[in-house]
Amino acid sequence: MNTLNASYNNQEFYRAHLTRDFRFDGKFFVAVKTTKIYCRPVCPARKAKLENLEFFIHASKAEEAGYRPCLRCRPETAPGSPAWIGTSATVRRAVRMMEATDLELLSVESIAEQLGIGERWLRSLFQQEIGISPQTFMLNRKLSLARNLLDHSCLSITDIALNSGFKSIRRFNDAFKLRFGKAPRSFKKISNTSNLQTLFLRYRPPFAWEKLLSFFEQRAIPSMELVNNHEYQRLLTYKDIPGWLKVSLDESYKVRIDFKLDRPAPMLDFTSRVREMFDLDADPMMIENDLKRDKKLKPLITQHTGLRIPGCWNGFELAVRAIIGQKISVKAARTLLTRLVNLCGEKQTFDSIVSLTHLFPTPQNILAADLSNLGLTTAKSQTLKALAQAVEDGTLRLDGTDDYEVTCKKLLSIKGIGQWTVQYIAMRGLRNPDAFPETDLEIQKKIKSFDLNPELWAPWRAYAAILLFNL
């Protein structure tokens, strides 16, 4: 068994497997020696005896050992493994690069070069931390996405192959058969021609969905976003393609994503953005157990279990929101952002049925706009222009592919951006679970009121910050 998760042993895994405990979904995988099938611990199939089972932290290790994924519980749909979530910043940056630019177009050698390490060392890191090569990792991601699209989308098999990142239909068919034991057409369920697509992504409970929606609702820009009927929807731009997205909670610990794009596009980066925006790979049990080391924080966590870090669609948008929100109320920031979007954002024309009207401004939009009549201070307008210029010319990347410390230093070098802004962007945009806007007046007030000790909260201070925002 892979020993990366030293907090548990086989007996504990087996108990979670017998009780189908969804809190452990994605934390490990169960392989049955007699059938050579591996499953999620929540699989509804009849349970085998412990001596007939093997446990793996990574699904890829089960497949490497000769096991095939269960067609009933779909292990490729499990939430992100904590072992994977805990990998090094180097591996996570490499994965973001591969998702944003297909590995078939971006070689392992070029990724290693951008990371400032050798190709051999990068391959070694993947083997050490995930258990497989970079190419195999990305192949598994593509196949899992393709299976999701086959089940829920109305795309043709050819379009599914292309949208999943395959450049060759033959290679897609061969890889799919090898992994799932059947041809892609065996799983195709929907064949209509609507441009509305659907995906289902799993999460690990508990999930404070309504509190996450409340956070988004308070900050929603009316012409671009809408929160109602327990759903979140928005207009977006993805790889220069306008689109619309609606996210809702589904049964069996799944989130449903309905979306429309003006034209087909690769979906690996798309699904990653959704997962990050709604923090679907969080492990609440692990995070909350660590935070409860602060005994004074423990009762507060108990009252607000399952909190997620509200993410963002892209880092540039989040940075603009953070700059405008400096030293003013959420309500005032929302008013200014609404004016900015209505002034600079392009109107959506790809779907007359969608009631939302404006896309969030691009860096080019902000650089070309006159911001003097929005109600912003001159200093904030200049900061927004400087941010837009840095992103536009490529000196600043906010998509997680650049070194974290370098990104923070580049943000700080922009006049008008201080530590609060950087930590807020790091928390919600750069996905650093330990980012902490400690100078925030609301957070400082609650730390003092409850006599809390933030030093005890590492490496989950961002989750503690969200908890304090919710008090």
Edge-to-edge strands, sheet with 197-202: 197-202, 254-261, 241-250, 231-238, 225-228
Phi-psi category of residue 449: left, alpha or beta, with phi > 0 → left and psi -120 to 50 → alpha: alpha
Residues 402 and 341 in one domain: yes
Q: Which domain holds residue 139?
A: 85-187
Amino acid at 93: R
Q: For position 5, what pLDDT does the model report? A: 42
d(CA 243, CA 287): 34
Query: Does residue 44 have a cis bond before it (omega within 30 degrees)?
Result: no
Residues 90 and 69 in one domain: no
CATH of the domain at 147: 1.10.10.60
Token duo for residue 96: 């973001």
Amino acid at 108: V
Name the band, by pLDDT with cuts 50, 70 and 90, for residue 6.
Answer: very low
DSSP state of 275: H
Handedness of CA 159, 163, 168, 169 (dihedral sign): negative
Q: H helices then E strands: how many in the chain?
A: 21, 9
Considering its fold, how many domains does the chain have in total? Answer: 3
Let me know: does 266 contact 203? Beta carbons within 8 Å. Answer: no
Catalytic residue among 21, 258, 351, 440: 440
**Among candidate residues 46, 76, 106, the one where a domain is terminated:** 76
Name the band, by pLDDT with cuts 50, 70 and 90, for residue 4.
Answer: very low
Amino acid at 196: L
**pLDDT tens digit string along 379-425?**
999 999 999 999 999 999 999 889 999 999 999 999 999 999 999 99
**Among candidate residues 142, 165, 187, the one where a domain is terminated:** 187
Q: For position 87, what pLDDT does the model report? A: 66
Residues 101 and 45 in one domain: no
Q: For position 1, what pLDDT does the model report? A: 38
Q: Does 218 reside within a domain?
A: no
Residue percentage of the chain with pLDDT more than 70: 95
Min mean pLDDT across 184-198, 289-303, 446-460 is at: 184-198
Let me know: does 256 contact 249? Beta carbons within 8 Å. Answer: yes
d(CA 374, CA 392): 22
Q: For position 193, what pLDDT does the model report? A: 58
Closest CA to 103 of 79, 75, 131, 126: 126
Residues 44 and 122 in one domain: no
Judged on CB neighbours under 10 Å (0-12, 13-18, 19+), 198 is middle
Report the DSSP beta bridge partners of residue 237: 242
d(CA 412, CA 421): 9
Q: Does 285 reside within a domain?
A: no
Sequence-distant (≥ 6) Cβ neighbours of residue 420 within 8 angstroms: 326, 437, 439, 440
Q: What is the pTM of this model?
A: 0.88
Q: For position 81, what pLDDT does the model report? A: 65
Name the band, by pLDDT with cuts 50, 70 and 90, for residue 301.
Answer: very high
Sequence-distant (≥ 6) Cβ neighbours of residue 79 within 8 angstroms: 25, 26, 202, 203, 204, 280, 281, 283
Give catalytic status of residue 39 as yes or no.
yes
Residues 94 and 175 in one domain: yes
Name the band, by pLDDT with cuts 50, 70 and 90, for residue 278.
Answer: very high
Residue percentage of the chain with pLDDT more than 90: 70
Min mean pLDDT across 178-192, 265-279, 285-299 is at: 178-192
- The answer, yes or no, to whether residue 277 has pLDDT greater than 60, is yes
- The answer, yes or no, to whether residue 3 has pLDDT greater than 60, is no
CATH of the domain at 35: 3.40.10.10
Catalytic residue among 21, 25, 39, 351: 39
**pLDDT tens digit string along 314-369?**
999 999 999 999 999 999 999 999 999 999 999 999 998 999 999 999 999 999 99
**Among candidate residues 76, 99, 121, the one where a domain is terminated:** 76
Residues 367 and 442 in one domain: yes
Report the DSSP beta bridge partners of residue 249: 255
